[in-house]
Chain A
């Protein structure tokens, strides 16, 4: 099970036949396992890692540090749920350390993101303060370098 997830985590486009070969399982077993993982909510989705700059789409991402007041009984969950419901929001993490929530937000322009913070996030009841950091360059995303193609320094033929 762990190995299957690890393989999919590295490359979610491996076919069931390929996965079956690698894991020494039958194709049917692999299909069943994946279905089960999806049903149980262990696998939540499959997405490519895109270099949007190369794809020609204007895209700005900001990392926003939020200090919030936790609610009695609900803690940080309520405010986190409110924030994750915005379409612009890509990720929400509860953090240890100097602030509470780390939120990454996507937009077309700096202006658009600034407005999102000013008009949508900051006014929320529990939000005490925000600090917005714009991402200038993405070098690596989920373990994959976005621009550098890994080079193989090994010789070409070897006996």
Chain B
């Protein structure tokens, strides 16, 4: 008999499975669940983009591409980053096309982190940074961002966690799950702390295009002196509704990109070819699609934020991504209790804030990548839940 447990490394064994598995099982038993718990666009990939994927297949482009990705795609990414953010990256050796933003994150962490290195991770945030750091032998150092700072990372919080072992700062903005963004002046403050150090920034800007304030998204790479110490990670999934195509990219200093390309070459070979051809079309001619989808998300965002605030689930204004992060403290419930009871009694699924780090306690993540009608119905149900809960509380 094989003893599989003894085959596994301590590290992989110690990684906890996702905290929301339990909710998934409960919801699977119900047939009228309204879900507000997904992190991907409801839009389909714009037709002209899909068509380019189809054309590439018709023409027989079914082989590997160069390890770094098609040069014309890297050129497209370079010119996009230039026209949108005034950044300049050389297509030849400063851009690598990856399998989603996720692979880019993995490559970056594994290329720079080894045993004893510390990685600063602001939380609440997406769930992959910590396990990947651990797998690389590094030590995750959590920075708990606060609701009163609108979940932005402050220079002070950053400074307090820096040690001689600190090698990498993850900068996950616009943020999943909070919807927080870092404005230019916030980034200036972070830059000021980092400029004197040898700390690298992994800036996960996958939601960059989904920023709803007037100035739009600012990348930390735009701040003076920061491009040379930043690996910018982004991709096509959120901006162009291309989650299933699995295509992202990273941009950074050539010596780092060369190292990450080695890892990518051995682990992945190259990103999917069909997706790369479709992405060329997206990045060249997809600006209008982004505007259209962003406008749509923005209306839903306002509807949901207003709706939740009206129900007493106070919600700071999320300026990015497609999530709200309301406080549920007025109910007296923990995040997990709130989500579980809401699911059992009203069949509405939202994600406990604690799934994104301990400091998410007292909050839940509500996604608005759903139709208005879906959101309105969900708000009705949440309202019933709050009323019933109040009733029960005053009864007790």
Contact = CB atoms under 8 A, between A and B. Distances in A.
Interface of A: 3, 7, 10-11, 14, 18, 21-24, 152, 154-159
Interface in B6-26: 18, 20, 23-24
A157 B306 contact: no
Given A10-B372, A14-B372, A18-B376, A157 B303 contact: no
B268 interface: no
B233 interface: no
Given A21-B302, A159-B127, A154 B372 contact: no
Contacts of B35: 152, 156-157
Nearest to A17: B306
Nearest to A20: B306
A14 B24 CA distance: 31
B21 to A, nearest CB: 8
A24 B355 CA distance: 31
A22 B299 contact: yes
Contacts of B40: 154, 158
A22 B356 contact: no
A21 B303 contact: yes
Contacts of A155: 38
Given A156-B38, A159-B39, A22 B302 contact: yes
A156 B349 contact: yes
18 contacts: A7-B299, A14-B372, A14-B376, A21-B303, A22-B302, A23-B302, A24-B302, A156-B28, A156-B38, A157-B37, A157-B38, A157-B349, A158-B38, A158-B39, A159-B20, A159-B39, A159-B126, A159-B176
Contacts of A7: 299, 372
Contacts of A3: 299
B277 to A, nearest CB: 23
A96 to B, nearest CB: 26
Contacts of B37: 156-158
Given A154-B42, A157-B23, A159-B18, 20 more contacts: A7-B372, A11-B372, A18-B303, A18-B372, A18-B376, A21-B302, A21-B305, A22-B299, A22-B372, A23-B299, A24-B302, A152-B35, A155-B38, A156-B24, A156-B27, A156-B38, A157-B27, A158-B37, A158-B39, A158-B40
Interface residues of B, number: 31
Contacts of A10: 372
B71 interface: no
Contacts of A158: 37-40
B373 interface: yes
B300 A22 contact: yes
Contact of B307 (A11, A21, A23, A157): A21
A22 B304 CA distance: 9
B33 interface: yes
Nearest to A155: B38
A32 B39 CA distance: 37
Nearest to A154: B38
B291 to A, nearest CB: 13
B104 interface: no
Most chain A beta-carbon neighbours within 10 Å: one of B38, B42, B307:
B38
A44 B24 CA distance: 46
Given A21-B307, A157-B37, A11 B302 contact: no
Nearest to B177: A159
A18 B356 CA distance: 30
Given A10-B372, A22-B303, A154-B38, A159 B28 contact: no
B187 interface: no
Contacts of B39: 158-159
A23 B349 CA distance: 26
Interface in B35-60: 35, 37-40, 42
A44 B372 CA distance: 24
A22 B300 CA distance: 6
B46 to A, nearest CB: 17
Nearest to A152: B42
B373 to A, nearest CB: 6
B221 interface: no
Interface string B375-386: 010000000000
B24 A157 contact: yes
Nearest to A21: B306
B351 interface: yes
A49 to B, nearest CB: 13
Interface in B92-136: 126-127
Contacts of A24: 302
A22 B39 CA distance: 21
A50 to B, nearest CB: 17
